[in-house]
Amino acid sequence: MRIFVAGGAGYIGSVTTKLLLEENYEVFVYDNLVKGHKKAIPKGAVFIKGDLLDQEKLNKVFKKYRFSVVFHFASFIENELSFKRPHQFLKNNTEPIFNLLNVMLANRCEKIVISSSAAVYGLPEKIPLTEDCPLKPNSPYGESKKLLEEIIAGYARWCGIRYASLRYFNAGGAYKDLGEDHRPETHLIPLILKTALGQKKRFKIFGADYETRDGTCIRDYIHVYDLAKAHILAMKALEEGNKIYNLGSGKGFTVKEVLEKCQEVTGRKIPYEITGRRIGDIPVLIASAEKIKEELGWKTEMSDLETIIKTAWDWLREHPKGYGD
């Protein structure tokens, strides 16, 4: 089976590509390398440099290789930055999907797995969040992911596309030779670990006056390996119908608790400072992933906080400059 992975040179896309290859699928990575890294593309995957906005090239690739399934990871992900550039996020995270879906239909490829986000929920009405909670995004990034889901649902309803939408909570960790190298880096764990490595003077905690057990925000962390495994399970289940799933561990940790665990894993004192709240931050986000567990038999294998941090730390020490490109 030939699989098309848009954004396969990125963090989650590269790990999913690696696991697909380990299951002996024929994988083609399509990436413009604006955010991704060529060195992150696993050996064995066919790499095609291209942009999803280039419909002519996209169509030629689909005509030549006749893909069975598409994975769509390509997007901008920086929540805070989306407030400064809302038009850019809304455009970039939605416009390419029209090209991709139309090319899929023209070439009789009807299955797609997309990366969505917990940001579609906005301020939760209950914790843990279930898939039937209202979608009320409180950021342009979250809005762009909600629009992405709506566009694909429309194509499913009227054009026969079959899809799975996976709503990530906080991805972390590393798998084998693949790790997290965002530029700029905005994710909590790598920012703390970069401070431990001496690449940053101190780690910033944005707000310590939330109504949580220690005043800092609570998040649900999931290992990138477990995320990638969920994508493959969702792909295999598309014959049963369209799917929407949360992906999280079901456990919440405060920023200070994550910092303490990072100090424990690294054996280093990590300097930090408390600053004001950050726009768009929500006090508590914890997933209920019971639906995917019950329907697909998914389970987390590496998503305890210590394993997430240890694998991320090991990778960062081996790759202090990321992929170096």
Over residues 37-49, the pLDDT tens digits come to 999 999 999 999 9
**Block residue for tokens 């998040």:** 219
User: Where are the domains positioned within the chain?
Assistant: 2-171+221-247, 188-219+251-318
Q: Which residues fall within 8 angstroms of residue 188, CB to CB, at 6 or more apart?
A: 170, 172, 219, 255, 258
Q: CA–CA separation, 115 vs 82, rounded Å?
A: 17
Chain segment 230-252, per-residue pLDDT in tens: 999 999 999 999 999 999 999 99
Exposed/middle/buried for residue 183 (C-beta within 10 Å: 0-12, 13-18, 19+):
exposed
The gap between the terminal CA atoms of the chain, to the nearest Å, is: 31
- Helices then strands, counting H and E runs in the chain, come out as 11, 13
User: Could you tell me the two tokens for 21?
Assistant: 């290859």
Q: CA–CA separation, 213 vs 148, rounded Å?
A: 35
Closest by CA position to 186, among listed 171, 207, 175, 208 = 171
Q: CA–CA separation, 280 vs 302, rounded Å?
A: 29
Q: Model confidence at 80, in pLDDT bands (50, 70, 90)?
A: confident
- What's the pLDDT at 325? 86
CATH 3.40.50.720 fits 2-171+221-247, yes or no: yes
H runs (alpha helix) in the chain:
11-22, 55-65, 79-84, 86-92, 95-106, 140-159, 188-196, 224-236, 255-266, 290-296, 305-318
Q: CA–CA separation, 152 vs 163, rounded Å?
A: 7
What is the sign, positive or negative, of the torsion defined by CA atoms of 274, 223, 240, 156? positive
- Tell me which DSSP letter residue 267 carries: T
- What's the pLDDT at 76? 84
Q: Model confidence at 71, in pLDDT bands (50, 70, 90)?
A: very high
Q: Model confidence at 124, in pLDDT bands (50, 70, 90)?
A: very high
User: Could you tell me the two tokens for 134?
Assistant: 């209202």
User: Region 62-82: what's the mean pLDDT?
Assistant: 92
- What's the pLDDT at 232? 98
Which string of b and e fits 39-52 if b means at least 16 CB within 10 Å?
ebbbeebebbebbb
User: Region 64-77: what's the mean pLDDT?
Assistant: 94
Closest by CA position to 167, among listed 236, 125, 222 = 222
Worst-scoring range by mean pLDDT, 20-34, 78-92, 139-153? 78-92
User: Could you tell me the two tokens for 190?
Assistant: 């790598």
Q: Is the pLDDT of residue 77 over 90?
A: no
**Cα 256 from chain centroid?**
23
Superfamily of domain 188-219+251-318 in CATH is UDP-galactose 4-epimerase, domain 1 (3.90.25.10)
Closest by CA position to 268, among listed 256, 259, 277, 255 = 259
User: Region 66-93: what's the mean pLDDT?
Assistant: 90
One-letter amino acid at 214 equals D
Phi, psi angles (nearest 5°) of residue 237: -95, 0
User: Could you tell me the two tokens for 56?
Assistant: 């002519």
Closest by CA position to 3, among listed 70, 72, 101 = 70
| Cβ–Cβ under 8 Å, residues 83 and 280 | yes
Q: CA–CA separation, 302 vs 294, rounded Å?
A: 19
CA distance readout (Å), 302 to 173, 289, 307: 9, 15, 6
Catalytic residue of the set 11, 30, 121, 141: 141
Phi, psi angles (nearest 5°) of residue 212: -130, 180
> Does the annotation count 323 as an active-site position?
no
